[in-house]
Amino acid sequence: MLSSSINVRLSFYYFSYFAAIGVFLPYWTVYLKVIKGFEAAQIGELMAVSMLTKMVAPIIWGWLADRYNNLGVMIRIACALTLLSFLASYISDSYFGVMFVMSCFGFFWSAALSPFDALTMNHLGEHSDRYSQIRLWGSVGFVVAVLVLPIFIEKQGLTLVLDILTLLFLVIFIAACSVPNKTQPVQSVNTSKIWHVMRQPAVLVLLVACALTIASHGAYYTFFTIYMHDHGYSDVFIGWMWAIGVIGEVVLFAFMHLLMKRFSAACLFVSALFITAIRWFLLGAFVDSIVILIIAQLMHAATFGLYHAAAIHLIHGYFPGRLQARGQALYSGLSTGLGGAAGGLLSGYAWDGIGNEMTFYVSGLMALLAAVIAWVWIR
């Protein structure tokens, strides 16, 4: 059974990591628009480049971690380089300068998550169904960030975003240093080549469905705060809208192990994708209705929480033994990386091209396509 000390250290890492995301996702694009003066298409391009690093970095870091069988060291190196490269944000003002900095710190930042998921699974061992109870602290960190930050931004301005992110990247590095390495037991090591696993149709469909699902989030992650500003909502209210979704996610993570005992991971995964499609249609059609807006945000419990926990379990099952880190890296790289980059880029062009609401409708269609192919192929 996992010791309480390790439990706390793993949870603190997720708390600090996703607190940084709670600053980055809602306010980095606003910072780029207001402070840097970039247009919607440029913001979409910058976010796409940042997301593309998530396709490459986890795969490289996962291969290195599996090659040297030391996830802990690789995670600490990635966290240290994230902090160092982000410091260049203070002196980068041009479009290409910001693109270079975002590519660098995005590369290392994204490399620090999927190996940590694999490390967490190694620490949990046969209690892998408890992953969601540790991961929920990441959601708590996100909620704290999106509720507290707007209060300070209204007083001190958007430039505070840089200072808060720098501080959080330092905390993430400290948290990574506190977690000991944990290798796979010898008897659980599987010598299968990763391409043997990749040739399974269900694995390919799973990765495609994940990429489409994350791509459908492009408009939300890139423009939701701007979208809400355009409809007259305040920073504090927008912070609560981000928080409501993640609070629902926290509740779901707390009970996810019970759902996993009753339903298959594949069933939960497909259900999450159908709910994702509904959510984007609601955001496009009813942004001026506070009640519908709250309902759509509560659906985040399924569109991220249920989706991610089910996907992690499916990947954990498909990629056994020392293929774990590379399996989690492929999941992160092809979904968050390739899917996120495509979603950010397309939403940036669509936002001014076809309109805000229509962009969310297209997002809904992408999620619906992912749900249908997953329903047919994944068992």
pLDDT tens profile 78-91: 999 999 999 999 98
Block residue for tokens 């992160």: 332
Gap between the Cα atoms of 91 and 338, Å rounded? 28
Give the start-to-end residue ranges of the domains of the chain.
Answer: 4-377
CB 42 within 8 A of CB 222: no
Gap between the Cα atoms of 147 and 338, Å rounded? 30
Confidence of residue 193 (pLDDT cuts 50, 70, 90): low
Kindly give the residue spans of alpha helices, DSSP state H, lying in 265-306: 265-285, 290-298, 300
pLDDT tens profile 206-247: 888 988 999 999 899 888 988 998 999 988 899 899 889 888
Q: How many Cβ atoms sit within 10 Å of the Cβ of residue 132? A: 27
Confidence of residue 47 (pLDDT cuts 50, 70, 90): confident
State the chain's mean pLDDT as an integer.
85
Gap between the Cα atoms of 61 and 51, Å rounded? 16
CATH topology of domain 4-377: Growth Hormone; Chain: A; (1.20.1250)
Answer yes or no: is pLDDT of 188 > 60.
no
Average pLDDT of the segment spanning 255-278 = 87
Gap between the Cα atoms of 26 and 102, Å rounded? 16
CB burial of residue 23 (10 Å; 0-12, 13-18, 19+): buried
pLDDT tens profile 131-176: 777 888 988 898 899 889 888 888 888 888 999 999 999 999 999 9
Answer yes or no: is pLDDT of 190 > 60.
no
> What pLDDT is recorded for position 288?
92
User: What's the token pair of residue 184?
Assistant: 């796979």
CB 348 within 8 A of CB 45: yes
Could you tell me what percent of the chain has a pLDDT over 70? Answer: 89
